[in-house]
Amino acid sequence: MLSGALRGGETLQDGRPGYALKGELDMAGGESLVRRVTALAATTSGAIEIDMGEVGFIDSSGVRALLRLHEAAVSSGRPMRVRNLSPDVRRLLDLIGVTELLTGD
């Protein structure tokens, strides 16, 4: 569990570690997400995927959290990507210009 209106938990998709989110990724949940995924990365190897299929809202703090996680993963030699973006979340990431960076699309 994270905080505020964001819930999440660890997943294993085709042998890859990940984190599935549900709710709103904003300032309240962003810092918790960074802590949780950083802890997950410390105990696993390979690509990390963040499933955002049930995230209906993201603000600039949430985007910043995703960018921090991406930067940390890349600097440690690991890929990290987000997947299953809702249309509203994709639209925001498109407007900011970070969709390709975060999804690998």
β partners of residue 11: 18
Q: pTM of the prediction?
A: 0.89
The CATH number of the domain covering residues in 6-103:
3.30.750.24
Residue extents of the structural domains in the chain: 6-103
DSSP string, 57-68: EE-HHHHHHHHH
48-84 confidence digits (pLDDT tens): 899 999 999 999 999 999 999 999 999 989 999 999 9
- State both tokens at 20: 């599935």
Q: Which of 12, 29, 11, 28 is nearest to 20 (CA)?
A: 11
pLDDT higher than threshold 60 for residue 1: no
Q: Give tens-digit pLDDT for 9-58.
A: 888 877 788 899 999 999 888 998 999 898 888 888 888 899 999 999 99
User: Rg of the chain's alpha carbons, rounded to an integer?
Assistant: 12
